[in-house]
Chain A
Amino acid sequence: MSQAVIVVDQRDNVATALRLLQQGEPIEVQVTGRPETVRALKGIPFGHKIALVDIEAEQPVIKYGEVIGLATEKIARGQHVHVHNVEGLKGRGDQA
């Protein structure tokens, strides 16, 4: 595999690691359609997500061009994005 990460949709603010990303490793990636370099702040395992931009607390985490959850705290660009800093949307739209 030549790519380190995959971004599914231009609207995404996270990318998925296609191999273990080393701490500090520069990653060439398309951020909202533009080529940029993002550095992993810590090691990120295969299949896990890395933030492509700073995501403020309570702001949506976007993958597949859709909201997969909300940040529970500020997530910095390059940070591991997972259950420790993201919460699924609570409740159901039809029962709100």
Chain B
Amino acid sequence: MKFLGYRRSNGRVGVRNHVLVFPTVICAAGVAEKISRAVPGTAYVGHQHGCGHLGEEREHMIRAMTGSCSNPNVAGVLLVGLGCEMLTAELLGEKLREAGQRVETITTQNMQGTADAIAKGTELARKLLEEARSAQREPVEACELMVAAKCGASDTLSGLTANPALGVACDILIKEGGSAIFTETPEMLGAEQVLASRAATDEVRRRIWEITSRTDSKIKALGLDVREAEPGPGNIEAGLTTLAEKSLGAIRKGGTTPVVEVVEYAQRPLTKGLVIMDGPAHDVVSVTGMVAAGAQVVVFTTGIGTPVGSPIAPVIKVSSNSSLYQRWKGNIDVNAGSILDGEENLESMGQRLFEEILEVASGKLTKAEILGHREFAIHTIAPTV
């Protein structure tokens, strides 16, 4: 199966052709935003970080920022720094060049004030946009795709319709030689043994236990015991009986193939197939992390409705029930609720989702893109100083 993608000079394949204006630190965000506004067609990607990171968080932030900027959907990046920050434009620019990404940098403190920085930055952004025009879509195999599977604002039906249908789509993509990635470690608790039993190697099995234990310990350190508290009274009232049942509904979105690799937040996998990323369940933070890990397309299931998009990857929204779809047609791309209406089954819906992924990868805009939803947030792992 093929789709039409952009083959980059480093060999990776993008499904969009974005030029990003990316502040390396929040202090440069105002300058970056004004540059992007002056050059329509560029995407401003704002965040709160870039300075005051303690310990491991420095490397973690570098990984998340360089991962975001080197996603193959990105044709070129203008990094806008301040100068005295921890993560300078020079530092991130060097890492991006090493990754084969087209990058320009501007450091505000080296300019004649912000007006000058905006003027120079605007010229650089225009240049990047002009260059990006030369990229052409060409037929490429589906094996070049990594799809991020996400569920959020879920309902009782998410684990029964939308998530397993997405799982079928992930299985098809992986059979084609591609990759799927999912995260939300807190929503794996109780189902670790199921994931561990699907580990492709002993090392992957060890890593699955490692990330779930780590999350469990972090929650315990706050004086909370997720295993005692889950499923909660509301879940039980809704019909969920055990923690495994709740987590199984969530992990279903990744499909049924062996887990080939476990990566850290925003870390790029080295193996093709089904990948687990350690990360929070927070919708925007987890989507950002998987896109930074290299996912070119996100498929996001929801039962209650969430508008979340991404400035870097198209996000396909899938509703778990038809009543949400009727109310939220402007936001939802595919209605898996039709499985319950007897119009589809999981296999046919999964096939339809896979076809939708290829169409979106080939350029079809998602509802989130049409509506301009571009949420972006990086996971923090330490106090900011």
Report A's interface with B, CB cutoff 8 A. Answer: 1-3, 6, 8, 16-18, 45-49, 61, 63-69, 81-83, 86-89, 92-94
A41 to chain B, nearest CB (A): 17
Query: Given A6-B160, A64-B249, A69 and B242 touching (CB < 8 A)?
Result: yes
Task: Tell which of B193, B248, B342 touches A2, judged by Cβ atoms closer than 8 Å.
Answer: B342
Distance in angstroms between the alpha carbons of A82 and B235 in the assembled complex: 11
Cβ–Cβ contact B342 & A63, under 8 A: no
User: 1/0 contact trace for B256-291 toward A, CB 8 Å?
Assistant: 100000000000000000000000000000000000
Note all chain B residues with C-beta closer than 8 A to A18. 157, 340
Query: Given A3-B342, A64-B248, A64-B249, A16 and B160 touching (CB < 8 A)?
Result: yes
Distance in angstroms between the alpha carbons of A69 and B238 in the assembled complex: 17
Note all chain A residues with C-beta closer than 8 A to B193. 89, 92-93
Note all chain A residues with C-beta closer than 8 A to B256. 65
Cβ–Cβ contact B341 & A1, under 8 A: yes
Q: Which of B318-360 contact A (CB under 8 A)?
A: 322, 339-342, 346
Distance in angstroms between the alpha carbons of A3 and B339 in the assembled complex: 9
Cβ–Cβ contact A64 & B159, under 8 A: yes
B184 beta carbon closer than 8 Å to chain A: no
Cβ–Cβ contact B340 & A68, under 8 A: no
Query: Given A64-B164, A64-B252, A82 and B241 touching (CB < 8 A)?
Result: yes
Distance in angstroms between the alpha carbons of A19 and B156 in the assembled complex: 12
Note all chain A residues with C-beta closer than 8 A to B213. 92, 94
* Nearest-CB residue, chain B, relative to A65: B256
Cβ–Cβ contact A82 & B239, under 8 A: yes
Note all chain B residues with C-beta closer than 8 A to A67. 194, 244
Task: Tell which of A3, A46, A65, A88 touches B239, judged by Cβ atoms closer than 8 Å.
Answer: A46
Distance in angstroms between the alpha carbons of A81 and B239 in the assembled complex: 9
Task: Tell which of B156, B161, B252 touches A47, judged by Cβ atoms closer than 8 Å.
Answer: B156
* Nearest-CB residue, chain A, relative to B196: A93
B190 beta carbon closer than 8 Å to chain A: yes
Cβ–Cβ contact B159 & A86, under 8 A: no
Task: Tell which of A1, A17, A68 touches B245, judged by Cβ atoms closer than 8 Å.
Answer: A68
Cβ–Cβ contact A47 & B192, under 8 A: no
Give 19 new A-B contacts, CB below 8 A, not counting A63-B248, A64-B248. Answer: A1-B341, A2-B340, A3-B342, A8-B160, A16-B156, A16-B160, A17-B239, A18-B157, A46-B239, A49-B241, A64-B249, A66-B244, A66-B248, A68-B245, A68-B248, A69-B242, A93-B192, A93-B193, A93-B196
Query: Given A8-B164, A16-B160, A1 and B244 touching (CB < 8 A)?
Result: no
Task: Tell which of B238, B243, B249 touches A88, judged by Cβ atoms closer than 8 Å.
Answer: B243
Cβ–Cβ contact A66 & B194, under 8 A: yes
**Can you name 6 A-B residue pairings with CB atoms under 8 Å?**
A8-B164, A46-B239, A66-B248, A81-B241, A82-B239, A83-B241
Note all chain B residues with C-beta closer than 8 A to A3. 340, 342
* Nearest-CB residue, chain B, relative to A84: B241
Cβ–Cβ contact A89 & B244, under 8 A: yes
* Nearest-CB residue, chain A, relative to B206: A94
Distance in angstroms between the alpha carbons of A63 and B160 in the assembled complex: 10
Distance in angstroms between the alpha carbons of A8 and B240 in the assembled complex: 15
B371 beta carbon closer than 8 Å to chain A: no
B63 to chain A, nearest CB (A): 27
Note all chain A residues with C-beta closer than 8 A to B249. 64
A66 to chain B, nearest CB (A): 5
* Nearest-CB residue, chain A, relative to B205: A94
Cβ–Cβ contact B244 & A49, under 8 A: no
Note all chain A residues with C-beta closer than 8 A to B322. 1
